[in-house]
Amino acid sequence: MDIAVKYRIISEIINTNDEGVLNAIKSLLNIEDEMDFWEGLNAEDRAAIDEGLEQLDKGQHVSHESVREEIKNRFNF
């Protein structure tokens, strides 16, 4: 197949909003929908992440430097 035809096909795919066409192409190319990272998490993990983000927003965090210092002192590094 001529490269110009391939580019034309790609261009048409990019410019189309026809879900039927896009789904047919996905099917022909055996492309699976990828699950969003967040959607793949269970409720407990999502809640833990949300809690951590809230703590960061409130300034409740420990700096990397202080953790390194604590480990250094605790284990005599």
pLDDT confidence of residue 76: 86
Task: Clarify whether residues 4 and 24 are in a common domain.
Answer: yes
Number of compact structural domains in the chain = 2
Task: Clarify whether residues 17 and 3 are in a common domain.
Answer: yes
* Total-model pTM: 0.46
Summarize the confidence of residues 59-76 as an average pLDDT: 92
Place 15 in a pLDDT band, splitting at 50, 70 and 90. Answer: very high
Its domain, for residue 62, covers: 38-74
How many CB atoms lie under 10 A from the CB of residue 19? 8
Kindly report which listed range (9-13, 33-37, 59-63) carries the lowest average pLDDT score: 33-37
Summarize the confidence of residues 6-20 as an average pLDDT: 95
Task: Clarify whether residues 42 and 66 are in a common domain.
Answer: yes
Average pLDDT, the chain: 92
* Joined tokens for residue 43: 């409720």
Question: Which one, of 55, 76, 24, 50, lies nearest residue 13 by Cα?
Answer: 24
Task: Clarify whether residues 42 and 70 are in a common domain.
Answer: yes
Beta carbons of 70 and 64 less than 8 angstroms apart? no
> Is the pLDDT at 55 greater than 90, yes or no?
yes
- CA 18 – CA 25 distance, rounded (Å): 11
